[in-house]
Amino acid sequence: MSSNIVATKANVIATKKSLSLANLGYRLLDKKRLILIREMNALLEDLETIRNQITSTYQRAYDALQQANISLGAIVDLVETTPIDTGITIAYRSVMGVEIPKVMYQEKNQNRDYNMERSNSKVDYAYQCFSEVKELTISLATIENSVYRLANAIRKTKKRANSLQYISIPELEKSYKVLSEVLEEKDREEFVRQKVLKEKMK
């Protein structure tokens, strides 16, 4: 890089400024990476908890569904008449420029949507179990998506920081050193030349 730049004061100042900006950029990227990692670690703890809960909740829900089917025969007609739930909304929050989804669920109707005369307590229990499954699935989807986005952002940030740390900054340091040395050498030569001229004039 330095071989293509003429050793002038302006170029030395410009190179020094670029080096200063590169160091600042590296520090900011490293800080961003640490914040993103901290955010992801907090989510990973929640993820482990929900994964443990969801397995047992799914099993309980399917067992309850089996009991409901046994008690009433196939409850397909009840399922088909239950309206589609539209209480899910998605919002986003920004963590160091990374958009993290927040899936929110609000049950619009607290009452059972299926035919109560055709059902029994086992159907009610199955409905309750699958409601829990739904809420856990929403939480799991939110966290998994957030972790994926954060991990991707961490990888990109680390790549950029490494590029600055191991490529750009060393090259700029080398350029600054070479340009400074060449300029100092020119200044010394000019000083000697001026001294010789003065001696000759005397």
Amino acid, res. 74: A
Residues forming beta bridges with residue 98, ordered by sequence position: 95
The rounded distance, in Å, linking the Cα atoms of 40 and 150 is 6
Residue 94 · residue 128 · CB < 8 Å: no
Does residue 83 come out as left (phi exceeding 0), alpha (psi in the -120 to 50 range) or beta? Answer: beta
Count other C-beta atoms under 10 Å from residue 35's C-beta: 16
To the nearest 10°, the Cα dihedral for 93, 94, 98, 101?
0
Give the pLDDT of residue 152: 95
Query: What's the pLDDT band for 109 if we cut at 50, 70, 90?
Result: low
Amino acid, res. 68: A
65 vs 113, residue with greater confidence:
65
Give the pLDDT of residue 76: 67
Question: Mean pLDDT of all residues in the chain?
Answer: 85
Q: What token pair was written down for 29? A: 């990227």
Query: What's the pLDDT band for 142 if we cut at 50, 70, 90?
Result: very high
Q: What token pair was written down for 8? A: 């002038």
Query: What's the pLDDT band for 102 if we cut at 50, 70, 90?
Result: confident
Find where tokens 């100042």 sit. 13
Q: Which CATH class is domain 2-201?
A: mainly alpha
The region of weakest confidence among 12-16, 115-119, 172-176 is 115-119
The residue-averaged pLDDT of 29-33 equals 95
Count Cβ atoms within 10 A of the Cβ of residue 157 and give its class: 0-12 exposed, 13-18 middle, 19 or more buried: buried
Judged against a pLDDT cut of 60, whether residue 2 lies above it is answered with no
Residue 15 · residue 176 · CB < 8 Å: yes
Give the pLDDT of residue 87: 76
The highest-confidence range among 17-31, 105-119, 124-138, by mean pLDDT, is 17-31
Give the pLDDT of residue 173: 94
Find where tokens 């590296």 sit. 26
